Structure 1
Amino acid sequence: MKIKTITCHDVYNHGASLQEHALLKHLESLGHDAETINYKPDYLSNHFKLWIVSNPRYEKNLALKVAYLILKLPGRLKNLKRKKNFDLFSKKHIKSTGKLYKSNDDLKNDIPEADAYICGSDQIWNSFFQNGKDPAFYLDFVPNNKLKISYAASFAIDAIEDNLKQFVKEKVSRLDYISVRESSAIKILEELEIKQTVQVLDPVFLLDKGYWETLSTPKLADNYIFVYDCDSDPLIQKFVKLLKKKLNCKIITVNNNIKYADKDYSLEGPEVFLSLIRNAAFVVSNSFHAVAFSIIFQKQFTVFNRFEKINTRMRDVANLLEIPECLLTKEIEIDNFNYVIDYNRIEPNLMALIKHSKNYIKHSLENKS
């Protein structure tokens, strides 16, 4: 079967790239011809532009604008290394359509040919961002007579705005099979009277530990804590510094905002991200995919809430595996943290969830509703 997938493509994020690859790889393992749609609307296409002014107050004055761009240029040139590494990963591991699409209308006017279409995974339906309001991520461009499936689509929030409810209801109702990543997403859709919804795991869980080990780079360091913190969270910093003393180890990150780290790999690609989690003594993050790969590689970890309140993803995976103690939200929890994950205990539950997720894909592709 020829399958086209659509997700947040080429956004230069470790988790986004790895989950996109994982779904394609799993579909290929089932014997399908799968590729992602090269969909890059304007709001997802501003990465690594050298001359963009991201702060509007500098646009009003030419002298300020020039000074701003000159100050930003050295850092932006340096960051092109990250773009190069991600582009190399995509070229090697993410098969995509030759044609670039920039809008839902582009897709409607020249529909990528396929027998089935899958939207997901990641935060494609998160209305906190523009992609959650984009009809393309709900397969709006796909004709009614074609098979339309969502796999592990995520709202990443507990509720959507009232003015978007009719839009979401109308678009999701067109899908033949609907699966989401969080229990909160099921509740959102139930409130919209969409009841035939299945909860499944993120695509990265469809591939086993051994596969991800082969994709990761060789070991880069010994005895370190891996920190993935998108928010420069002072709570994370305090916890990591306490843990560093306890474990007597270094701090490594892939975030250039973590100034207390001993080593920053923010310019490297997804293979290095995998290696850093795989070989860490402990993982501390507020990233869903850092949590997901910590589980896959059976690492000890803690997870903190994001400032943007897009926390349902981390909370749900912890609850699904019955390890809610990994989620820290208060300073007092940091001072008294001593929880150890027993992977022997959670393994049967994880394997059952993976089997359920794989069965959903197989069933939805084999049975036109």
Structure 2
Amino acid sequence: MKIAILTQPLHTNYGGNLQNFALQKVLKDMGQEPVTIDRHPSIKLRTKLKIGYFKRLVVHYLKGAPKPKARDYFSASKNKTDRKHVLRFIETYINKTPRLYSDKAVQKAFVKNKFYALIVGSDQCWRPMYSPNIKTYFFDFIENDQSIKKLAYAASFGTSEWEFDEQQTKMAQRLIKQFDAVSVREKQAVELVKDKLNVEASFVLDPTLLLDKEDYLTLINAHQPPLPTKQGVYTYVLDTGGWKGKIINQVAKSLNSEVFNNQPKATIENPSDNPDDYVIPSIEGWIKGFIDADFVVTDSFHGTVFSILFNKPFVSLLNSDRGASRFYSILSELGLENRLVTKYDYNQINALLNQELDWQKANEKLIQLKQSSKVFLEKRLC
């Protein structure tokens, strides 16, 4: 049966693309035919985002940084070149519609494809500030269509705080009643759905955790040319800051290891005259970083997830602006909550470096959660 998936726009985010890849693979393994609705912001919203990006360039320049060339950031061909590895992954491994920039385009896609079911999830698809149109993620465009099964799988608010305004809350309360079943990615989200939307929700795993590490090794083995092997402290830090740098330095010094990553060499804050420095490395290379790592330092939810999947010693640096509850939820479920760090503390980091992780206990719990999460999907798609 043809199953539609509605998630955050497929762009450059490693975790965002991999959670969609993972959910599609799980559905394929169940004998379904998944198709991702490739919803993107409207032209109006994209223009607003570009203006905000340009303001960041100006502010950075006024602070004394080298002046980057604005045309490099706004050129469509430049953007496509920078994303070439990510685009290849999406085109190779994710079955999707063409890009859709409006609710009307989404409606047309549903008329054309005649989907059996629609699943919203995962990522922070229920976080208003991140979604192109939050109503879309509560299925307003098929509100009166009772022929389609409607599910939320591992939908996430990203935070334990309620960020919907009054109008959005009323909208969500009305639309969520049409869902056949609701599941969320954080334990705190179970309570939010009950308290704010008056609906019961189940707790399930992020889709990336439903796959085995061998599934990700298959991606790496298929990559051409073969990816190089590295070793040392692997970092995936989205928001650099003074205290995070101190932790990375302490870990590297204590382990007498080199630091490596899988991120662009140049950014808006760290410009370069070499266009190749802005190219985003491959998703497969990002995964392989976890395999090769002796230790991982990350402030990313999916960076934390892949550290767990490959049983690598790690510290997660709390990134509250991007959503803290998702970190607390998965780490507490697996008995790893002490790996979460909120500030630089030499003694705390030193203790974590010397701590043996109980991977057997964590893996056993993960297997249980994986089974119950898959059962949720199987039962609701019957």
Secondary structure at the counterpart of residue 4 of structure 1: strand
1:355 matched to 2:354? The reply is no
Residue of structure 1 equivalent to 2:153: 151
1:242 matched to 2:250? The reply is yes
Label 1:44 to 1:176 Cα distance change in 2 as closer, same or farther (>3 A). farther
- 1:323 maps to a residue whose letter is L
User: Structure 1 residue 255: deviation in Å?
Assistant: 3.7
Q: Deviations over 1:151-195 (max 9, x none)?
A: 101000112234232222222222111010001111111112534
User: Does the 8 Å CA contact 1:126/1:155 hold for their aligned counterparts?
Assistant: yes
Aligned length: 351
User: Structure 1 residue 104: deviation in Å?
Assistant: 2.0
Give the Cα–Cα distance (whole angstroms) in 2 for the partners of residues 16 and 301 of structure 1: 21
Residue of structure 2 equivalent to 1:297: 310
Secondary structure at the counterpart of residue 8 of structure 2: coil
Give the Cα–Cα distance (whole angstroms) in 2 for the partners of residues 269 and 44 of structure 1: 30
User: Does the 8 Å CA contact 1:281/1:299 hold for their aligned counterparts?
Assistant: yes
Secondary structure at the counterpart of residue 115 of structure 2: coil
Give the Cα–Cα distance (whole angstroms) in 2 for the partners of residues 242 and 70 of structure 1: 32
Question: Once structures 1 and 2 are overlaid, which stretch shifts more, 79-88 or 33-42?
Answer: 79-88
User: Does the 8 Å CA contact 2:172/2:197 hold for their aligned counterparts?
Assistant: no
Residue of structure 2 equivalent to 1:11: 11
Residue of structure 2 equivalent to 1:224: 232
1:334 matched to 2:349? The reply is yes
Label 1:287 to 1:209 Cα distance change in 2 as closer, same or farther (>3 A). same
- Which runs of 5 or more residues in structure 1 are unaligned? none
Match 1:184 to one of 188, 195, 198: 188
Secondary structure at the counterpart of residue 146 of structure 2: coil
1:286 matched to 2:284? The reply is no
Label 1:328 to 1:274 Cα distance change in 2 as closer, same or farther (>3 A). same
User: Structure 1 residue 277: deviation in Å?
Assistant: 1.1
- 1:158 maps to a residue whose letter is S
User: Does the 8 Å CA contact 2:121/2:154 hold for their aligned counterparts?
Assistant: yes
Residue of structure 2 equivalent to 1:270: 283
- 2:150 maps to a residue whose letter is K
- Which runs of 5 or more residues in structure 2 are unaligned? 271-276
Question: Once structures 1 and 2 are overlaid, which stretch shifts more, 233-242 or 108-117?
Answer: 108-117
CA root-mean-square deviation: 2.9
- 1:107 maps to a residue whose letter is V
Secondary structure at the counterpart of residue 338 of structure 2: helix
- 1:226 maps to a residue whose letter is Y
Give the Cα–Cα distance (whole angstroms) in 1 for the partners of residues 2 and 56 of structure 2: 48
Give the Cα–Cα distance (whole angstroms) in 2 for the partners of residues 113 and 267 of structure 1: 36
Match 2:335 to one of 296, 319, 322: 322
Q: Deviations over 1:41-71 (max 9, x none)?
A: 2279859x9x867235999xxxx9xxx9972
Question: Once structures 1 and 2 are overlaid, which stretch shifts more, 216-225 or 80-89?
Answer: 216-225
TM-score normalized by structure 1? 0.86
Label 1:278 to 1:57 Cα distance change in 2 as closer, same or farther (>3 A). closer
Label 1:265 to 1:241 Cα distance change in 2 as closer, same or farther (>3 A). farther
Residue of structure 2 equivalent to 1:72: 70
Residue of structure 1 equivalent to 2:128: 127
Label 1:309 to 1:31 Cα distance change in 2 as closer, same or farther (>3 A). closer
Label 1:300 to 1:335 Cα distance change in 2 as closer, same or farther (>3 A). closer
Label 1:265 to 1:293 Cα distance change in 2 as closer, same or farther (>3 A). farther
Which one has the bigger helix percentage? 2
Question: Once structures 1 and 2 are overlaid, which stretch shifts more, 147-156 or 241-250?
Answer: 241-250
Between the two proteins, what is the percent identity of the paired residues?
Answer: 27
User: Does the 8 Å CA contact 2:7/2:121 hold for their aligned counterparts?
Assistant: yes
User: Structure 1 residue 341: deviation in Å?
Assistant: 1.7
Residue of structure 2 equivalent to 1:34: 34
Give the Cα–Cα distance (whole angstroms) in 2 for the partners of residues 299 and 44 of structure 1: 43
- 2:238 maps to a residue whose letter is C
User: Does the 8 Å CA contact 2:81/2:279 hold for their aligned counterparts?
Assistant: no
